[in-house]
């Protein structure tokens, strides 16, 4: 049977953390529930699972691509218009360093931004269960559970002190 979302709303961080503990005790997998907040709570505040990511790879990939593009651009520009200045070689390395540096940084930053968006799993086009009170300071505990388990999950959320429990209609 397909899993459907159920959302518990809490106005207290301790109660939301208790709900997380309750869900764990009830046998709900850590992967099946999430805490939705309007601000970054300290990591592990709700006893949530540790999020794995590969964000640190992105800037390196971007930097390498940026550097390569900048080197190609500067080398090819100089070769395309071979202007001898002061008897120096056509491909003059010192000035290339500046543009290469900027290219490297630009590549690193662009890829970091792409990485942040991708690792945040954005854009999230699927319209899930949500409540606008979350951006008013409420904490949402979003549980994905089989419909047969919904009543049990709702009980756990209510027992922890949820002010509202919503199910997808």
Partner 1 sequence: MQEGRPLSPTEINRDLLRSILDTPRWFWPVVGILATIVLAAAITIGIMINSGLGITGLNRPVVWGFFITNFVFWIGISHAGVMLSAILRLAKAEWRRPATRAAEVLTIFSLITALSMPIIHTGRPWRAIYWFFPYDFARGIWPNVRTPLVWDPSAIFTYLTSSTLFVLIALIPDFAVLRDHTTGLTHRIYSLLAMGWEGNPRQWKMQILSGVLLSALILPVFVSVHSIVSWDFGMAVAAKTWHSSIFAPYFVVGAVHSGVSAVVFVLIILRYIYGWQAYIRHEHVDALGRLLIVVATGWFYFFVMEVIFGIYGREADEIAVRELQFFIWPISGWTLVFVITTYFIPVALWLTKAARRNLWIMSLACISVNIGMWLERYIIIVPGLMNRGVFTFTWNDYVPRFPEMIIIAATFAFVSMLLLLFSRVFPLVPLYDIKEGEFLRTEVKIGRRVVPATFRED
Task: Give the residues lining the site for partner 1 (CB under 8 A).
Answer: 34-43, 46, 48, 51, 53, 55-56, 59, 73-74, 77-78, 80-81, 83, 85, 92, 95-96, 98-99, 101-103, 105-106, 108-110, 112-113, 116-117, 119-128, 130, 132, 134-137, 140, 142
SS3 26: coil
Instruction: Kindly state the smallest distance separating residue 58's Cβ from partner 1, in Å.
Output: 9
Closer Cβ to partner 1, 72 or 155, answer by number: 72
Find out whether 160 and 3 touch, Cβ atoms under 8 Å.
no
The tokens describing 7, both together, are: 């959302």
Let me know if 105 is exposed, middle or buried by CB neighbors in 10 A (0-12, 13-18, 19+). middle
Closer Cβ to partner 1, 117 or 147, answer by number: 117
Closer Cβ to partner 1, 119 or 167, answer by number: 119
Instruction: Kindly state the smallest distance separating residue 25's Cβ from partner 1, in Å.
Output: 20
**Helix axes of 93-119 and 57-80: crossing angle, nearest 10 degrees:** 150
Instruction: Kindly state the smallest distance separating residue 27's Cβ from partner 1, in Å.
Output: 21
Closer Cβ to partner 1, 1 or 54, answer by number: 54
8-state DSSP, 72: H
Instruction: Kindly state the smallest distance separating residue 45's Cβ from partner 1, in Å.
Output: 9
Find out whether 70 and 103 touch, Cβ atoms under 8 Å.
yes
8-state DSSP, 149: G
Give the CA distances from residue 90 to residues 69, 70, 98, in Å, rounded to whole numbers and listed in that order: 19, 17, 17
Closer Cβ to partner 1, 119 or 152, answer by number: 119
Instruction: Kindly state the smallest distance separating residue 70's Cβ from partner 1, in Å.
Output: 8
How many of the other CB atoms lie within 10 Å of CB of 99? 14
């Amino acid at each position: 049977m397909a899993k459907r979302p159920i959302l518990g709303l809490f106005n207290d961080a301790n109660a939301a953390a208790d709900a997380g503990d309750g869900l764990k005790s009830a046998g709900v997998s850590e992967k099946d529930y999430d805490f939705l907040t309007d601000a970054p709570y300290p990591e592990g505040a709700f006893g949530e699972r540790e999020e794995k990511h590969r964000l640190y790879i992105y800037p390196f990939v971007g930097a390498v691509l940026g550097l390569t593009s900048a080197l190609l651009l500067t080398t090819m520009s100089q070769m395309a218009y071979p202007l001898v200045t002061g008897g120096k070689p056509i491909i003059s390395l010192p000035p290339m360093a500046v543009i290469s540096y900027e290219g490297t940084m630009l590549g690193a930053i662009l890829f970091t931004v792409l990485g942040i968006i991708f690792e945040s799993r954005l854009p999230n086009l699927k319209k899930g269960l949500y409540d606008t009170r979350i951006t008013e300071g409420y904490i949402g505990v979003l549980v994905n559970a089989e419909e047969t388990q919904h009543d049990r999950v709702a009980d756990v959320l209510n027992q922890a002190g949820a002010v509202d429990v919503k199910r997808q209609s």
